[in-house]
Amino acid sequence: MGAARFAVWGSLIVIIQVLAVVFAEEQTCAPGFQSDMLIFKVNSVRLRPGTLVGKVGFTDCTDHQIFPFWSENSRFKLQSDGVLKVNREVVLYDGPLNFLIHTWTSQGQKMTVPVSIVHHHHGNHHQNAGHHHGDHNDQHHHVDRNPVNNTESATDPELPVLRFPVSSEGLRRRKRDWVIPDINVAENERGPYPMQVSQIRSNEDKVKKIYYSITGPGADEPPVGLFTMDRDTGHLYLTQPLDREKVPRYTFQAHAVAQGAVNAEEPMEIIVNVIDQNDNKPVFSQATFLGQVPEASPKDFEVIKVLATDLDQPNTDNSDIRYRILSQDPELPSESLFEINPVTGSIRVSGTGLDREKYPKYTLVVQAADMVGEGLSGEAKVILTVTDSNDNAPKFTQPSYETAIAENKADTVVAKMLVDDQDEPHSPAWNAMFKIVDGDPGKLFTIKTGPNKNEGIISTAKGLDFEKASQHTLLVSVENEIPFAVPLPTSTATVVVNVLDVNEPPVFDPVEKHVTKMEDLAIDADVVHYTASDPDIARKQKVMYKIVSDPAGWLNVAKDSGLITVKSLMDRESLFVKDNKYQALIGAFDNDEVPATGTGTLIIQLEDVNDNAPSIEQREIKVCNKQSAPHLLSVTDKDGPGNTAPYRVSLYGMSKTNWTARMNDSKTGIILNLATELASGVYTVVLRVGDNQGFEQDSTVQAKVCDCSGEQVICKGRVAGGTELPVILGILGGILLLLMLLLLLLLFARRRGGRKEEPLLQDDDIRDNIYYYDEEGGGEDDQDYDLSVLHQGLDNRPEVFRNDVVPNFMPAPQYRPRPANPEEIGNFIDDNLKAADNDPTAPPYDSLLVFDYEGGGSDAGSLSTLNSSSSGDQDYDCLSDWGPRFKKLADMYGGGEDDDML
């Protein structure tokens, strides 16, 4: 029992100790360098570039193995994996070389450690074990290195051995601080190949046979065969040089298998980092850079920026580029007119003396070198063109100008002003811009730059007024399109503009005058006084008036006073009136030698009077004589509202018996209906239509009555056949009989043509009179003829409505009496002609006349008895027997004196 208790307590004590150790290991990790000070001992006083000095140990308590190291001494280069190498040759004759190394954790915390490079002599090579398992509590860390002459011999000949992680049997977990270190292999190694880079070992190889292998990229995956492993020893070999710019890291799995195909260990991840070598020189983004620099550029003015890149590992000296200017062509006026920022590549102006006229172009050769400017390098050209700066002000070619211009002329060129500029022609520093700075408060003038860009053109923005100002003095300045590069005075010039007086037309006030008048305003009644004033006050001219445009001829204007009166009656319903407004143009002119005429517009608002009777629009309708449908007739009235609807209608004459007419509900249309059955034919319906003021007018409607029934009107024509055939045959026979009679008459007349007959007209024939005139210019006496017989047909046709009577509802116009002054005869004729044209009481009237009475028979012979022949043998001798009145015709056609003379 006692032994059992002892065993239990012993087990508990062991477990507690193990847990304490694990907890202590987990709590003791702190970010930092492996020592508070790093001392590297070397065996040579002179260290050449590329010599491996040692490796700086650093951890941030994470899995990161790469850190951004930076050395304050540029003669040493510290790689991201902690390898410290010589960058430039170092000589240690004066004792140890001390400097600081900085880095940053993954959380951004900056860490610093002092480093001392010490020359130390000893016979045997010792490597401080603390390099791999150093105590972080030690005050210093020492690393010894053999004297070296190149980079290859600087590496440690002892290869690292990687062991599979050991698992605790009791806890079944790996230690958290057991990190498999990466394998670092420099690129471009010369060999010989295959080259051993590491060895993999298993703790089980002491008790059983272990076989080793690798899988993954670089092993059995592309690139296949780059890494190989000795199956028995676990040696890892590299078969060819590596290129970091192609693949910077390889990750594959290492396997340990016991004899009998049993896994002795869990697969272990192997990481091979390719260490960068400076095998790429910087390359510029362009072989030639083009830039421009103004000649007046100040110092430190940035001209252009060049850029070069390096394919080597970023954030290392191998890719740390510095720029410099190698040459400047030409080296005038100084050899250092430009400088370049060694880090950014920005080229700036560093001196003065740039002059485009002397040195228009500079060519720079710039270099970009890695290793902070001490390694491989590349070159490029920078061509800088010196551009013109506005360092010369434009100047007017003359200080003052004087010109003259007539008043009232807008958009007229007043003067042209030339300037001279020494800058590059047609550049922004040469192109001129003009401005009127004084003397034009009313904005009467404008100035613009001419097409050649060095000429200012002054023009009038509006017409000048001599009566207000007879002279204008302008102050004009000139500048360039871009500001002056240096302070320069602004050139100015004076322009004196003299205004010439011209005869200006009188001006109506207002220009457009509105009046309202009744349309039946009496003739000679006053309409309005419409006057104008002459702006030429000094001339003291008389203003007179005339009608310029009076489309309807309704107005007169008093020449001296401008009083406008009615010349003929106005009509609101005239075609010359638009929207109840009549527009006339009145002219005003002065008595200058060359009169100037101004115009004003008179607009008369015509108020309506009831001077138009309503009328019917439809004048023809068709109806059936049985059960006819009513027709709606539209009524129109030219008068305005108040003198139109509601309308009224009544039938007149015989229309009352056969027709009915009434107004529709709106009193704007007439409903006409056939009251009795009529025979087919055309009938005239007389309707008397009046407006709401009682003004009436008779209108006629032609109604065609058809033999049909209902609303659909169908008018049937006659059909030949049956009993009408004998009638048609009789008509045709009569026509043939008349044709035969006509032929007989023609034969009879031809036979009589050869013998002399009595003259057709006798001297005592009362049917016609022939008068003798003994002098030229005489006329025949007018005879009175009775034309009333021609109107007898209307008396026989009472159903025909006449509307040719003189209207009795409109006053007759007043005709102008004949003037005493012969010069006014032209106006007299024009005025009375217009009055006659607008006189509704003057004939002719629109009439419907029927001429169906031709009187009794005629005593004259039939025309059919006349014989005409074109044979040329017609006998005209009978004309001589008709008396002296036909003597000339007898001489022309019957022969006589003219024939005897031939």
* pLDDT per position as a tens digit, 191-233: 888 999 888 888 877 778 888 899 999 999 999 999 999 988 8
Amino acid identity at 405: I
Work out the average pLDDT over 381-388.
92
Number of H helices, E strands in the chain: 9, 55
Q: Phi first, then psi: what are they for 504, rounded to 5°?
A: -95, 145
- Cα dihedral 312, 317, 320, 326, rounded to 10, equals -110
User: Measuring CA to CA, which residue among 467, 340, 488 is closest to residue 421?
Assistant: 488
Of 9-18, 399-408, 816-825, 879-888, least confident by mean pLDDT is 9-18
Q: Is the pLDDT of residue 5 over 60?
A: no
Q: What is the pTM of this model?
A: 0.38
Structure-model confidence comparison of residues 299 and 25, the more confident one: 299
Pairing of strands 491-500, 400-406: parallel
Tell me, what's the pLDDT at 605?
86
Q: Is 739 strand, coil or helix?
A: helix
Contact partners, residue 461, CB within 8 Å, separation at least 6: 410, 411, 443, 444, 445, 446
> Which residue reads 């004259």 in tokens?
860
**pLDDT value for 414:** 92
Residues whose CB falls within 8 Å of the CB of residue 800, separated by 6 or more in sequence, listed in order:
684, 794, 848, 850
Tell me how far apart the 2 most distant CA atoms of the chain are, in Å: 200
Q: What is the pLDDT of residue 282?
A: 95
**836 pLDDT tier (thresholds 50, 70, 90):** confident
Question: What pLDDT does 253 receive?
Answer: 92
Structure tokens at 485: 């590069």
Percent of the chain beyond pLDDT 70?
75
Report the mean per-residue pLDDT for the chain: 77
Greater model confidence, 843 or 43: 43
278 by DSSP, 3-state: which? coil
What share of the chain in percent tops pLDDT 90? 22
Q: Which of 4-18, 73-87, 117-131, 656-670 has the highest mean pLDDT?
A: 73-87
Q: What pLDDT is stored for residue 250 in this prediction?
A: 93
State the Cα–Cα distance between residues 350 and 328, nearest whole angstrom. Answer: 13
Q: What is the pLDDT of residue 367?
A: 96
Task: Provide the β-strand partners of residue 626.
Answer: 709
Residues near 309 by beta carbon (within 8 Å), at least 6 away in sequence: 282, 283, 285, 321
Residue 468's pLDDT is what?
84
Lowest mean pLDDT segment, chosen from 12-16, 63-67, 222-226, 441-445: 12-16
pLDDT in tens, 74-132: 888 888 888 899 988 888 877 788 889 988 876 767 888 898 888 865 443 333 333 33
Predicted pLDDT at 304: 95
pLDDT at 383 over 80: yes
Write the CA distances from 9 to 18, 116, 435, integer angstroms.
Answer: 14, 53, 109
Q: Which amino acid is at 431?
A: N
Is 133's pLDDT higher than 70?
A: no
Burial 733-746 (b: 16+ CB within 10 A, else e): eeeeeeeeeeeeee
